[in-house]
């Protein structure tokens, strides 16, 4: 095992440090040293030491909160992408991004193929019989995705499983939309999904609309 990996794993063996990091993942809001100390029940100096260690390991990054008198407050927040630990290193993101760009270059044919691949996967994991959109999304929630739905039929994905690739190859949003299509196909919901694109560093949004899936499939077949 490499020295870097040993240091990373060793750092997270500390219960308090691990608890602090998990709190950031549970609620992604930025925090000051005082916030972290209060939440974790430790002294400010102890919180500062753990936070700086998590910054050094790449889990957190430092920003400054402005708008208050005096020196801007130092705050900590999660880094933009996930931290992955594997040995030896695997770069599945490079494969996904390269394939996404290749399909994008094919124009409508590639876009339809990506959507169809997502739909097939969505159907393969769907539980069926769901009576609400959130119930239909349960298989994705179990994988770690996070969704919210407003009254206007907008599904906000607050934690997109494909976020890092979507940012670099937006055609992957059609794959995600296809998954949602597949999840909804065998439910009581007569809807299809329109991808609205990326909304923030962690997620994207989709609009539910009257089902035009049959027309789309016919168009793809022509």
In CATH terms, the fold of domain 92-221 is: Muramoyl-pentapeptide Carboxypeptidase; domain 2 (3.30.1380)
pLDDT of residue 222: 47
Quote the CA–CA distance of 135 and 129 in Å, as a whole number.
9
Q: What is the tens place of the pLDDT at every residue in 195-216? A: 888 776 567 889 888 775 455 5
pLDDT of residue 41: 92
pLDDT of residue 190: 80
The candidate with the shortest Cα–Cα distance to 60, out of 77, 46, 39, is 77
pLDDT of residue 74: 87
Instruction: Write the class of the CATH domain 3-78.
Output: mainly alpha
pLDDT of residue 221: 46
Q: What is the tens place of the pLDDT at every residue in 156-168? A: 888 888 887 888 8
At residue 45, does pLDDT exceed 90?
yes
Q: Please give the residue that has the higher pLDDT: either 49 or 5.
A: 49
Quote the CA–CA distance of 105 and 100 in Å, as a whole number.
9
pLDDT of residue 201: 59
pLDDT of residue 1: 46
Instruction: Categorise residue 197: left if φ over 0, alpha if ψ from -120 to 50, beta otherwise.
Output: left
The candidate with the shortest Cα–Cα distance to 216, out of 67, 75, 113, 74, is 113
Q: Please give the residue that has the higher pLDDT: either 78 or 37.
A: 37
Output phi, psi for 62, to 5 deg: -105, 140
Q: What is the tens place of the pLDDT at every residue in 91-150? A: 788 888 899 999 999 999 999 999 999 999 999 998 877 888 888 999 998 888 888 888
pLDDT of residue 168: 84
Quote the CA–CA distance of 204 and 197 in Å, as a whole number.
5
Tokens of 202: 């962690």
Would you list the domain boundaries of the chain?
Answer: 3-78, 92-221
């Amino acid at each position: 095992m490499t020295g870097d990996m040993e240091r990373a794993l060793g750092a997270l063996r500390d219960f308090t440090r691990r608890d602090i990091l998990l709190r950031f993942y549970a609620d992604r809001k930025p925090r000051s040293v005082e916030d972290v100390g209060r939440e974790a029940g430790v002294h400010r100096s102890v919180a500062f030491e753990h936070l700086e260690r998590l910054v050094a390991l790449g889990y957190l990054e430092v920003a400054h909160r402005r708008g208050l008198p005096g020196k801007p407050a130092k705050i900590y927040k999660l880094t933009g992408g996930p931290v992955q630990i594997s040995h030896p290193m695997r770069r599945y993101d490079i494969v996904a991004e390269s394939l996404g760009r290749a399909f994008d270059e094919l124009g409508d044919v590639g876009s339809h193929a990506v959507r169809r691949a997502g739909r097939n996967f969505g159907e393969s994991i769907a539980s069926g019989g769901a009576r609400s959109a959130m119930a239909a999304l349960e298989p994705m929630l179990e994988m770690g995705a996070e969704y919210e739905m407003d009254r206007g039929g907008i599904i906000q994905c607050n934690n997109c499983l494909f976020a890092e690739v979507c940012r670099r190859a937006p055609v992957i949003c059609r794959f995600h939309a296809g998954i949602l299509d597949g999840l909804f196909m065998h439910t009581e919901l007569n809807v299809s999904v329109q991808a609205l694109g990326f909304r923030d560093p962690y997620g994207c949004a989709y609009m539910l609309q009257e089902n035009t899936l049959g027309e789309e499939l016919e168009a793809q077949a022509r």
